[in-house]
Amino acid sequence: MRYRQALFALVISASTLLAASGARAENKPAGNQPAATKPLATGVGKLKHLIFIIQENRSFDSYFGTYPGADGFPSPLPCLPDMWYPSQCDTPYPDHYASNDGGPYDYPHQIAEIDGGKMDGFVVERELELGQQCKPPHRRGDRRRRARVFDPELGGPAVAACTVDVMGYHDGTDLPNYWAYAQNYVLEDQFYESISSWSQPGHLEVFSGWVATCRKLDPPEVDSCATGTSGKTWFPGDPLPYLWTDITYLLHANGISWTAYLDGGLGDAKFTLHGVPYIWDVLPGFETVDQDGETGNAEVNLTQFYSDAAAGTLPDVSWILPEYGDSEHPQASIKRGQTYLTGLIDAVMSGPEWSSTAIFITHDDIGGFYDHEPPAVTFDKLGLGMRVPALIVSPYAKAGYIDHQLCSTDCYLKFIEDVFLGGERMSQSGRADPRPDYRDAEPAYGDLAHDFDFVRPPRPPLLLPLEPMSLLR
């Protein structure tokens, strides 16, 4: 216990740039009121480089459920029904394993986990997924016993340990760098998946604000693509299944440079352990990217990112996608994922363009881990998914600020448009588009410009150790 307390004290003391109490007074819940139309925020032009780091499969409560001041675990702690042990219920608990198993997280399972807003189906859905192969009298925390489950990312069966750890959470003693970024920059505690589904549709949302399955029609007609919770995966033999407009189309049309940096390069399969799989790097599947001749920009090895950061040649907009081992995806090590993320941020902070950069960090879906907040609104057929961790690191980011505005990765599209396109939305691209609505113009979302203070000079970098002291094992 003394070691744990000392470690937590070190995490808190790392906040050397923590905002003063006056700044904390701003951290009042803003509610989910529609954002009024207003002029672009003064000062966004100081940002010349926007970097979006997309990690994998974690819920907000699993990383920040105990973060002071955030919308974390309620009191008393929730206690979820348990199918295998009906005489008891399951509450959140600290889990210091670096490798976690999570639970099912594609659309049908998320709907069951949400359970009409009760948020009480996580344990039962995991137990149903594991089935009779793990049911008591076998010990359900048995990492040696195995079960066959369906993995949406593989598109077929996978082997899982007989563990039910969906109620486990991590805090600053496990993830000191994540918490240090929250303490010194911006933590968003109302940031939701753009869709209640798995990684591939989540990444389609990241780049375009829509998920659909399309027939081959060119130009796309109104009924050529149908909204869905899981779009078709591109692959070299069928390279262009996404006929709607993505954000790079507007960037290309306006001379704004962009790159997708891939950890380990592009993999060779829908899902692979080496390089970035097709289901995470969806950009090569967009007709717009192909027609603009920018497919090469979507397949740049991450080694180039470190060179660009050091040389001061970062593009205007960039996305960084991980390979499995660095992604924090169950069952990958979150300790290794934190080291990878810290290295990316340290590279930018050590380079000449830190003073004009904003870095956005999020996770694409919940990975089956518990979160207590139901999806905030349903403003179209796709609605919103559950909350995921989201941070903003920038020399202009408000220090120690918790943003309570409603957002998802759709807000990233809107912010790119505000910073580089003068507020032009995707609906104004002039391109025929089969989508029913445009998420970048959704009035219920907040404005990420609220998370920055452009009046004060840019703050110096906060370099963190790649392998901080941690309780993870």
Give per-residue pLDDT as tens, 332-356.
999 999 999 999 999 999 999 999 9
442, two tokens: 């959704």
Q: What is the mean pLDDT of residues 189-217?
A: 93
Q: What angle is formed at CA 418 by the lines to CA 414 and CA 424, rounded to 5 degrees? A: 80
At 144, which amino acid appears? R
Q: What is the reported pLDDT for 319?
A: 98
Q: What angle is formed at CA 86 by the lines to CA 83 and CA 92, rounded to 5 degrees? A: 75
Instruction: Kindly compute the dihedral angle of the four CA atoms of residues 51, 57, 58, 60, in this order, to the nearest 10 degrees.
Output: 60
Instruction: Kindly compute the dihedral angle of the four CA atoms of residues 91, 92, 98, 102, in this order, to the nearest 10 degrees.
Output: 70
Handedness of CA 20, 21, 22, 24 (dihedral sign): positive
Q: What is the mean pLDDT of residues 48-77?
A: 98
Give per-residue pLDDT as tens, 301-322.
999 999 999 999 999 999 999 9
Token pair 């396109």 is at which residue? 421
Q: What is the reported pLDDT for 432?
A: 87
Q: Is the pLDDT of residue 135 over 60?
A: yes
Domains with residue ranges and CATH for the chain: 2-64+172-451 (3.40.720), 80-168 (no CATH)
Q: What is the reported pLDDT for 215?
A: 81
Q: What gap in Å lies between CA 415 and CA 420, rounded to an integer? A: 8
C-beta atoms surrounding 201 within 10 Å = 29
Return the H-helix or E-strand segment holding 51: strand 49-55
pLDDT band at 138 (very low <50, low <70, confident <90, very high): low
379, two tokens: 């403003």
Q: Which residues contact 9 (CB under 8 A, 6 or more apart)?
A: none
Helix (H, G, I), strand (E, B) or coil at 283: helix
